[in-house]
Structure 1
Amino acid sequence: MREINCHEEKIHLCGNIQSFGYLFIFEDDKCIGVSENCAAIAGEEYSAMLGMTVDDVLHRIVPSFELRGENINQAVSDSMFARYADRVTILQNDYFLSLYKYDGKIYLEIEACNPLAVKTTKLYYYAKHLDDRSSGNSCWQALTELIKDIIHYDRVMVYRFLEDNSGQVIAESKSADLESLMNYRYPEFDIPAQARELYRIFHARHTADVSAEAIPLMGRSADDLDLTRCSLRALSPMHLEYLKNAGVKASASFSIIVDDELWGLVACQNREPMHVDLSQRHLCTFLTQYAVNNYLADFQKKQVKVQKNLSQLKHDLKSDLLVKRDLYDVLEKYAVRIMEVMNGQGLIIKRDRAIMMVGEVPDKKMLREIDKKIATAEFFATDRFKCDGPSEDVEMYPGVLRISILPANNWYLYVFRKERLIEETWAGKPEKVMQVDEDRKITFPSPRSSFEAWKKITKGKAEKWQSSELAFIENITQIIQQAVAQRGGEIDELNKKLVRSNNALDTFGYTLTHDLKNPLTTIQLTAQMLLHKKDISGELLAKSMKNILEGTQLMRDMMDKVYQMSKVNHVDFVFEPINPQSKIVNIVENCKQQYKVPHLEFIMGETLPVLGERTLIYQLFLNLVGNAIKYSSKRQNPQVSVKSMRQGNKVRYDIKDNGIGIDLKDGDKIFEIFSRMSNTEGFEGSGVGLSIVKQIASKLNAAIHVESELDVGTSFSVVFKDVPEPDRMHLVS
């Protein structure tokens, strides 16, 4: 006897539609499939409709319909509006008519309208409700409230898919007399794989009446009529039985798509039959996507905050490791911060026979058992650790992470998580029950009949390690290893670095003594004049004081900029693959506000990944893109573009503007510190930006080139060398 699973059911080739609509399918402009109930609106039996053209069918059903011939093909082929929809009157009743192309065929759907039309004037208020966080509700809770208001169903839930493909209700709006299903879990097999795929492709599905008879399609066989994108498609008998068992007589669902993947569903249920028409479904689909955008914006804000804190911790740790001699003391100082970032309850740093413990950690017996079981693995992490040792802590710490800091010296870092008892409420016991069909000699899953709350308690597990946490601890370990390698380097290399640093200091010293002469001379002459001149007028005194203040401010600004530039020269940076796209976008948005150019036309081409250090990459584009925006900000139509291209093993970035331009008669003088062109008067700055760019380009082993024409614009090119192909790099942004 063969077993048939739910995922084997070809639900997109069911050959049936629901009773509230009518369907016509055309191939090569001939009707090849039609719903058996078509006579109700066409006045002809289905057999007479087969073979008709699209024009013939439309003229028979809606004589006044405006689209004809090629206009129909154009309407359904438009990439922006792939589905044409309109409200029409047929036999004095209102219907929605929609046309679309799929699988090389044209589909004509006609469905009944609801008496209460959707009020598009409320769209603004719907969006405001989703944006409002003052009530403390999530965007998903707000979404359930809006959709319940639009379709008037008894229950609207947001159902999120989890890592194991089961689901959980995370938001709910319901009628007062219904019991809440908030936080209830549902097993994976409640929504089989092929159904999830259809939800991912087509984002709105509903069943007006689970007990209504399905209308068969006539003409071609069901296997030739793909109803993947058909709003009228009848549901699987298994799913209809499932809904009946749950006490549901009408249902609707709207897909929550995040990064082109099915993140969850807005699941709607009603205790009585109720049709959700096309206008309601379109509005609910739009609001669902709007809620997705809100969710992603909130998620991004949290990620930025987390990354900022992590970057600060890594920066502080790196600085201390490079300066302080005892690495073990440095690790002890940062142990608590590392443990908190890892969401651990305890941390151990072990070096040979020395051991440092922070927080709640297992005893030494369990530690020996862990080392014995993990053996020589350099990186190990689990949320279900078990060992057979004598320790009393074996079951208390199932969350174990160990990473090797210095294998040769037996340096290890451990992070522990205690057991977390997890109590889950499931909508019915999550188990498959099989039915037997003796006639066909098959067994198949029976739709669940029990949805009563069933509690499950999970023991022996800790909270799962997140991929971001594992990446962080690996990064911390690399920082420590790099510091050790750097501290253990040859004295000769240190001497070379010292010579380079001294040369840089000599350059800065010369720059200061040379370029600060002018403001210092101005201050000196003004002070001498005030000292020797008698009967000074108030006007002259004010002017003199102003000269002194301006001179001191200029000197202060120059020294601040020199300090900024000095920071670029004394740190060794670790290169990693980086795509600068997000950094460039942030720079553009900030500079548009800083230089008051909201009307800037910014063109972003392809951004290829390069090898570099994220801080230097940011500074490089900050100066180049910032200058481009600043010096084109006074144009009537300011334009800035950034694009990249691969040239063999090199990647070239071009930053172009239509600003004031640069006089290039003195060549590389524009890259000298404090060098400003004569046409930059009226723009803020002190001539340090391009000098910083030159220094950074040198650090990044990149070449920089400039082309410019006065009063036309400027183009900077930065060529990054020895850049591997993207598929050989693990990118960071």
Structure 2
Amino acid sequence: MNNQVLIKDEHMFLSEGIQEFGYLLITDTEFNLIAGSENCDEWLCEDFSDCLGLNLWNILTDYFPKYVASINKAVHQVLNDINERVLMEVFIKEDSYYLNIYLLNDLIYLEFEKKFEDSNVFFPKFEIVDKLLSKNKGNIWQAACSYITKISGFDRIRVFQFVEGGNGLIIAESIDNNELEGILGCYYPDMDIFKLAKNIHQVNVHRYAAQIDGPTIRIISNPKYEPNLSQTNIRMVSPIHAAYMLKDGVNSNLSVALQIDGKLWGFIFCQSQEAKKINLLKREALVYFIQMAVNRYAEEQKNYEKEFHDDIRNFELQLKEKLVLKNNLAESLRVLEKELCYYAKADSMVIFINGRMYAYNIVIGEQKILEIIALLKSECKEQYYADHEFIMKYGEQLEINAERFVGLAGLHVEMDESCTILWFRKEKEFQRKWVEKPVRRIGMNLSNEIFTHEEHPYLDIWIQKTVGTSEPWGEDEIYFIKRLRELILQSANNFSQEIDKLNKEVGDLNRALDNYANTVSHDLKNPLSAINLSTQMLLQRPDMKEELRNRMLKNTKDAVEVIGELLRSVHEFSKVKSYEYKMEPVYVDEFLSQIVEFSQIRYQAEHAEVTYGTILPVYGEKSIVYQLFQNLTGNAVKYSAKGNYPKIHFDSKIKHEFVEYTIADNGIGIAKEELSMIFDSFKRLSNAGNFEGTGLGLSIVKRIVDRLGMQIKIESELGKGTTIHLLFPNTK
């Protein structure tokens, strides 16, 4: 609440007094009484007019000696902070009162409000409120109405939302009195009464009238001053508001402004047919509960927006993929024509690119589309267009009736390929119920609207029937159309860059293939020579001894396995480069011991001592995390297997925002000068000549590390062993 905000333009509509269940004293900053309610003479011993100019502390000392010190402290508190309000409880003639003290325009207000006996025992419990709002996701306002009815005892609760053109819509309602009218789903026109309500609630978020037709207690003031009651809780409702509510069958009202992102979104009206007294603290609790509902509703709307934008981004990715794969804008759009209609909430569409037309779910001639495009270019300077009354405005000119469509939206993109996309919506008949005469709308005299007056005992009911239009294009659809245009332009601009990038990648791959050809031809010489020699001996010496025959066969088998391993490594190398991964928690302890066992058998290292520390789960894609550990474990076992006492140790821990894994062995190690090239494709280290391998293992590891967005560090000393550090991003 801003104590410096005043109502000026509408000040004439403010009440000149307060409600009968309270008192009001107003002083200047020198503590001289300059105004107050005339009923204060009920506890003063003289006419209130004679008290003007007296010192506040003298009056309080005479009539409230028990509270002078605490009131003095509260007054100085609000003087030090103009936005402060201090609430305390005092007694006047044996009755308990709330005393509200605040500062406004350099005047000090002391507002006394009588404490009533609560006829409704229910009081808001905020832990219950929180559960209630969570349970009623998507139905916040109806749940709020029902709960307010229960705890307040008001007969009728309404949620009023401002919609297009300043009009209002009743979006939720709870009624506990059959004599009061229900108008859920009905509209209010933009009337002066709501403009006034907006102005008043900008100053004070809630207003309360216990008895609208009750007496107004007049304010008596020094002529030099003009007290402002805009922030006085017990101020009487203005005459214009009183007449309006009494006409609606309401004699008690609590209205609360609903603000979202700093803007007035609507109101909650709590109303009763008879006078309804609710204590200040309970009203404050109701206001707090309503603010919780506002916050939850705003959160739901933001979540909806986020989901919507995420959905649009997913579509954008689909379209980008199609544009890259097909290198054809028309074909890419046609493949996604259903999605294009879905996000624009259209019934049909036409894509027109470089003189070629592609229609989806509509029968329309190319010449007619060209006429529509020409019309849009002449009528609209923007590159996008949306009108739910397009045929009503231009149908006769274009010789198109409402049978095929009535609403149209479109975008135009001028580039190497001239592209226009049009979306169409069919006719939808609308009927709207107004609870006051929509004078401004009726005055427009639109040919497609008919208004009829409906008889009602006290409400001014009007029924509006609208034909010849479609559902209006909403903000979401317009956003999608704009984003689609940006995406098409971006894709066109980036396409040449993508081609250059792809050409570079092709060049890199060709160089890698040349490398591969040289390396494979070299690595295949030994196993092929062994196969060739063994085969020749078997053919030339059919009578050779069984021991020698078995040795030749084993040589052949071993050579085939070397070739097979080389080919499998090359296959894995290519797979890691192209595969799309699904990221999820991976529990390493489920497969690590199996990898170790297979590696020990393969490299005849059953005697190796393998130990485990903590084995934590990591975040990645299970198949390539398995492949990562398989390559690194295989290296650790292989290059330590020929030692006298081979040892391998696995451990993991949380380190900052990572899960760090270490794989340590006491194998042959890596020379310091070779550490910088260990991830090169087909690179074999100088001391690895006596060990089988293709030189692709650590290259595959590096590609996996890059794809998973992790880090790898290798520490090694020649002849003493190697320690691998893997840093996985920790998602907790």
TM-score tier (shorter): 0.5 to 0.7
Given candidates 408, 412, 420, the residue that maps to 2:420 is 412
Q: Percent identity?
A: 23
Secondary structure in structure 2 of the residue aligned to 1:226? coil
1:245-324 matches, cutoff 5 A: 245-324=247-326
Q: What amino acid is the match of 1:265?
A: F
Displacement of 1:416 after TM fit? 1.6
Q: TM-score, normalised by structure 1?
A: 0.65
- Give the Cα–Cα distance (whole angstroms) in 2 for the partners of residues 414 and 525 of structure 1: 62
The answer as to whether partners of 1:362 and 1:397 remain within 8 angstroms in 2 is no
Displacement of 1:99 after TM fit? 0.8
Given candidates 675, 695, 707, the residue that maps to 2:713 is 675
Given candidates 72, 88, 99, the residue that maps to 2:101 is 99
Matched, 1:243 2:245: yes
- Give the Cα–Cα distance (whole angstroms) in 1 for the partners of residues 233 and 628 of structure 2: 65
- Give the Cα–Cα distance (whole angstroms) in 1 for the partners of residues 15 and 656 of structure 2: 59
The answer as to whether partners of 1:204 and 1:281 remain within 8 angstroms in 2 is no
Displacement of 1:32 after TM fit? 1.7
Pairs aligned (count): 550
Q: TM-score, normalised by structure 2?
A: 0.65
1:527-676 matches, cutoff 5 A: 527=601, 530=604, 556-557=624-625, 628-629=656-657, 673-675=711-713
Displacement of 1:170 after TM fit? 0.9
- Give the Cα–Cα distance (whole angstroms) in 1 for the partners of residues 284 and 399 of structure 2: 60
User: In the superposition, relative to structure 1, how do residues 323 and 288 fare at CA in structure 2: closer, same or farther (>3 Å)?
Assistant: same
Displacement of 1:484 after TM fit? 2.5
Given candidates 484, 488, 491, the residue that maps to 2:492 is 484
| Higher Rg of the two aligned structures | 2
- Give the Cα–Cα distance (whole angstroms) in 1 for the partners of residues 334 and 134 of structure 2: 44
The answer as to whether partners of 2:124 and 2:151 remain within 8 angstroms in 1 is no
1:466-481 matches, cutoff 5 A: 466-481=474-489
The answer as to whether partners of 1:206 and 1:276 remain within 8 angstroms in 2 is no
- Give the Cα–Cα distance (whole angstroms) in 2 for the partners of residues 265 and 258 of structure 1: 11
Displacement of 1:61 after TM fit? 4.5
Per the alignment, residue 393 of structure 1 pairs with 401
Structure 1 residues 119-175: Cα deviation after superposition (integer angstroms, max 9, x where no partner): 6865146514632536x8812112112222233222111111112111111111112
Displacement of 1:372 after TM fit? 3.3
Structure 1 residues 348-382: Cα deviation after superposition (integer angstroms, max 9, x where no partner): 10123321112347665753442232125422222
Matched, 1:227 2:237: no
Q: What amino acid is the match of 1:162?
A: V
- Give the Cα–Cα distance (whole angstroms) in 2 for the partners of residues 417 and 7 of structure 1: 47
1:401-480 matches, cutoff 5 A: 401-406=409-414, 409-431=417-439, 450-480=458-488
Structure 1 residues 19-38: Cα deviation after superposition (integer angstroms, max 9, x where no partner): 22211122212222211221
User: In the superposition, relative to structure 1, how do residues 38 and 335 fare at CA in structure 2: closer, same or farther (>3 Å)?
Assistant: same
- Give the Cα–Cα distance (whole angstroms) in 2 for the partners of residues 542 and 382 of structure 1: 73
- Give the Cα–Cα distance (whole angstroms) in 1 for the partners of residues 370 and 388 of structure 2: 18
Point out where structure 1 has 5 or more consecutive residues left out of the alignment: 1-5, 434-447, 513-518, 563-594, 597-625, 633-670, 679-683, 691-733
The answer as to whether partners of 2:402 and 2:468 remain within 8 angstroms in 1 is no
Per the alignment, residue 193 of structure 2 pairs with 191
User: In the superposition, relative to structure 1, how do residues 483 and 408 fare at CA in structure 2: closer, same or farther (>3 Å)?
Assistant: closer
Structure 1 residues 197-253: Cα deviation after superposition (integer angstroms, max 9, x where no partner): 321331111222222232222224598222221112222222211122222222221
- Give the Cα–Cα distance (whole angstroms) in 2 for the partners of residues 47 and 93 of structure 1: 24
- Give the Cα–Cα distance (whole angstroms) in 1 for the partners of residues 622 and 369 of structure 2: 62
The answer as to whether partners of 1:12 and 1:226 remain within 8 angstroms in 2 is no
User: In the superposition, relative to structure 1, how do residues 504 and 173 fare at CA in structure 2: closer, same or farther (>3 Å)?
Assistant: farther
State which drifts further: 252-261 or 86-95: 86-95
Secondary structure in structure 2 of the residue aligned to 1:98? strand
User: In the superposition, relative to structure 1, how do residues 14 and 428 fare at CA in structure 2: closer, same or farther (>3 Å)?
Assistant: closer
Displacement of 1:324 after TM fit? 1.6
Matched, 1:171 2:172: yes
Displacement of 1:287 after TM fit? 0.9
Q: What amino acid is the match of 1:342?
A: A
Matched, 1:116 2:118: yes
Displacement of 1:271 after TM fit? 1.6
Per the alignment, residue 159 of structure 1 pairs with 160
The answer as to whether partners of 2:126 and 2:289 remain within 8 angstroms in 1 is no
The answer as to whether partners of 2:658 and 2:729 remain within 8 angstroms in 1 is no
Displacement of 1:323 after TM fit? 2.0
The answer as to whether partners of 1:348 and 1:361 remain within 8 angstroms in 2 is no
Structure 1 residues 556-610: Cα deviation after superposition (integer angstroms, max 9, x where no partner): 5396699xxxxxxxxxxxxxxxxxxxxxxxxxxxxxxxx99xxxxxxxxxxxxxx
Per the alignment, residue 215 of structure 1 pairs with 217
- Give the Cα–Cα distance (whole angstroms) in 2 for the partners of residues 384 and 554 of structure 1: 54
Secondary structure in structure 1 of the residue aligned to 2:164? coil
Secondary structure in structure 2 of the residue aligned to 1:143? helix
Per the alignment, residue 16 of structure 1 pairs with 17
Secondary structure in structure 1 of the residue aligned to 2:65? coil
User: In the superposition, relative to structure 1, how do residues 75 and 104 fare at CA in structure 2: closer, same or farther (>3 Å)?
Assistant: same
- Give the Cα–Cα distance (whole angstroms) in 2 for the partners of residues 457 and 335 of structure 1: 34
Displacement of 1:414 after TM fit? 0.9
User: In the superposition, relative to structure 1, how do residues 197 and 354 fare at CA in structure 2: closer, same or farther (>3 Å)?
Assistant: same
- Give the Cα–Cα distance (whole angstroms) in 2 for the partners of residues 71 and 217 of structure 1: 26
Displacement of 1:411 after TM fit? 1.6
Per the alignment, residue 26 of structure 1 pairs with 27
Displacement of 1:92 after TM fit? 1.2
Q: What amino acid is the match of 2:326?
A: K
Per the alignment, residue 565 of structure 1 pairs with none
Structure 1 residues 490-509: Cα deviation after superposition (integer angstroms, max 9, x where no partner): 97676456668899999xx9
The answer as to whether partners of 2:122 and 2:150 remain within 8 angstroms in 1 is no
User: In the superposition, relative to structure 1, how do residues 322 and 143 fare at CA in structure 2: closer, same or farther (>3 Å)?
Assistant: same
- Give the Cα–Cα distance (whole angstroms) in 1 for the partners of residues 502 and 140 of structure 2: 55
Structure 1 residues 11-68: Cα deviation after superposition (integer angstroms, max 9, x where no partner): 5754322222211122212222211221123444222432244434444443322644
Secondary structure in structure 2 of the residue aligned to 1:224? coil
User: In the superposition, relative to structure 1, how do residues 215 and 500 fare at CA in structure 2: closer, same or farther (>3 Å)?
Assistant: farther
Q: CA RMSD in A?
A: 4.6
The answer as to whether partners of 1:254 and 1:284 remain within 8 angstroms in 2 is no
The answer as to whether partners of 1:348 and 1:415 remain within 8 angstroms in 2 is yes
Secondary structure in structure 1 of the residue aligned to 2:726? coil
State which drifts further: 386-395 or 487-496: 487-496
The answer as to whether partners of 2:124 and 2:285 remain within 8 angstroms in 1 is no
- Give the Cα–Cα distance (whole angstroms) in 1 for the partners of residues 62 and 349 of structure 2: 77
User: In the superposition, relative to structure 1, how do residues 38 and 115 fare at CA in structure 2: closer, same or farther (>3 Å)?
Assistant: same
- Give the Cα–Cα distance (whole angstroms) in 2 for the partners of residues 50 and 174 of structure 1: 47
The answer as to whether partners of 2:657 and 2:729 remain within 8 angstroms in 1 is no
